[in-house]
A and B are shown apart, each in its own frame.
Chain A
Amino acid sequence: MRCIRAATSEVCETIHDRSAHNASKSKLKQARQELASELDPDPKEAGLESAPGPDHWNSYLGHDARIERAETRSEQGWQDEQARGKHSSTERKVQRGFVFALACLGVIGVVSYLSIVRLREDAAWVQHTDEVIIRLELLFSAMTDAQNGHRGYAVTGDETYLEPYHLAVQTADSDVRRLRELTADNPAQQRRLDLLAPLIGEQLAFGGDVIASRRSQGFEAAQSQMLTGKGKLIHDQLHGLVNEMKGAEEDLLKERELRARQSTTIAQAVIIGGGMLAFGFVGLASFAIRRDFAGRQRAEEDLREAKEQLEVRVRDRTAELAQLNVELEQRVVERTAQLQTANQELEAFSYSVSHDLRSPLRTIDGFSKAVLEEYGSQLPPQAQRDMQSVREGAQQMGALIDDLLTFSRLSRQPLNRRTVDTAQLVHQCLEELRPQTQGRQIELRVAELPPCWGDPSLLKQVWINLLSNALKYSSKREPAIIEVGTVAAPVSGAFVDALSAASTNHQIAYSVRDNGVGFDMRYASKLFGVFERLHRAEDYEGTGVGLATVQRIIHRHGGRIWGEAAVDRGATFYFTVEGEIKP
């Protein structure tokens, strides 16, 4: 019973199938990730003002939160099951329900079979008892008929009265034998039969004596024999014994009938109770199945809802993206037009600067010169020096304008890449810079220089600027040492020494080193700014545009440039050109 109760309670418990739960959960998660990736805006691409406003994102977040809630809901359901300590699956529970139901039906079958066997046994016993009683009665009636026979013959002398007597003599033994067999299992009846058999013999013997007397000595002899009362005594004893046996058999019959009724009642109870139990187990199992099915249906419904929501979101988002795309394309067209306009304006501006700004400078310089030449002798020395300063200022500004125009032109001029023979290019630049080196003691050390892939005219500007800087800032050294070479530079970060050149993660950087005044590394960040100068104008002339120009060219080539120096201990500039080495 404890076992049945446990099984019942187990089947009764709410069943949320763990696997169904997990499946729905993982589907939700997957759908959510898909949505997230769908909705995830790449900030770099979305960019600009056209990126969706905060409202957009709130609605996405809201949606996300809905999914989160659904997930939490199912998670809570699972946790509830966990709290009940349920791990077995619905299948196992349903299986158990059916197994118990089958067990009940089995028990019912066995009990029913046993009951039927018992009933049949009982029925056989009843029949048996009836037969014993009937045989007893038949025996007794035969004996009574025998007595009546010999009496009738004694009175009348008619031989026909002797038929029942003769019949009884013939059958008495077999009747007693039959009774012995029927009551073989009953010692009490056997004992009674032991008494019965001699009585039958005595009665039949007495009858024989009476018949013999009548036949040989006549009526009176028979009458006197009968009047002894012996025959009646024997018959009465016989009667009493038969009744006793019948009573015993009837008691036995009652007892057996009672037992048969009891076993029938038990069988009925077992069949009804077992049937109800089986029905109950089947009912519980189907209840569990229905609950589980309902749970699955709910989960599927949730999933379908979530999926529909997702589809709606995806459709909306796709539409938004398409709209956004159209807007972006429109914007690109507009921006391109704006850029073209700006570019045209810039060109017009450059043209204007180039043309109009130089004219007044030439006027200033020209007329200052005229004044100095035509009236110089009349001017005091201070005025002559001042006029000279005016001229220098004008000329300096002219140089600045030229450099600036060169600098701005670099952004617009298209790159015309080809294989550049760097060694030859450097040689050519040094030739062009020869006027700067006249009268100076200069030691030039040019190492082997690999070719690169770039715009020759722009790279020439780079080498001219770097080499002339090296010459300029080493002008106070005797001798000035200028070294041109290469180092292996890591793809990002600072350079390493040439020993590590073998590393694949390095690229060749060209270097220009001088033993000049150098600069303070604290100001290294200012090296490449337009108009940035790290030296006083009276020490080293220059416009402060040269290195900015170099950097712009290198950057347009996709390369890097950096400098290293210490005050009064020379400076080294390194630069790379992206994809520099042509195989």
Chain B
Amino acid sequence: VTQRLIIADDSADMRWLVRSTLQPEFRDVIEIADGRQLFACLLRATLAAGPRSPDDLVLVVDVRMPVYSGLEVLDAWHDAEHPIPIVVITSFPDDAVRTEVERLGAVLLPKPFSRATLQRVVGDVARRARS
């Protein structure tokens, strides 16, 4: 277990649910409540990783968050050369969200999802990033 999980969602209970479902599969779980924090967190992780980009991160990101939306932050950090494994969770997956998620090379997981689905989808994304 070497990867770290970042959960960005403005609902504390949602973060708790994701954390309690995925914790065993990650070295560390970081909870984030809004877009600005997510941005700062990604910035810190990048600086800490030095010249290479951080390759041990897996993101579970909500779309609707205060300050910046999840998609806005992901767009700002998008790097086609070194894609970060991302699962975007949202309760309103309209066409605009789908297109944007696809463009960012992320995976869309509409709410409500079962814990088993969450485990499977995040597990797939994390495994693909490792290999």
Chains A and B are bound partners: no
The interface of chain A, by Cβ under 8 A from chain B, is none
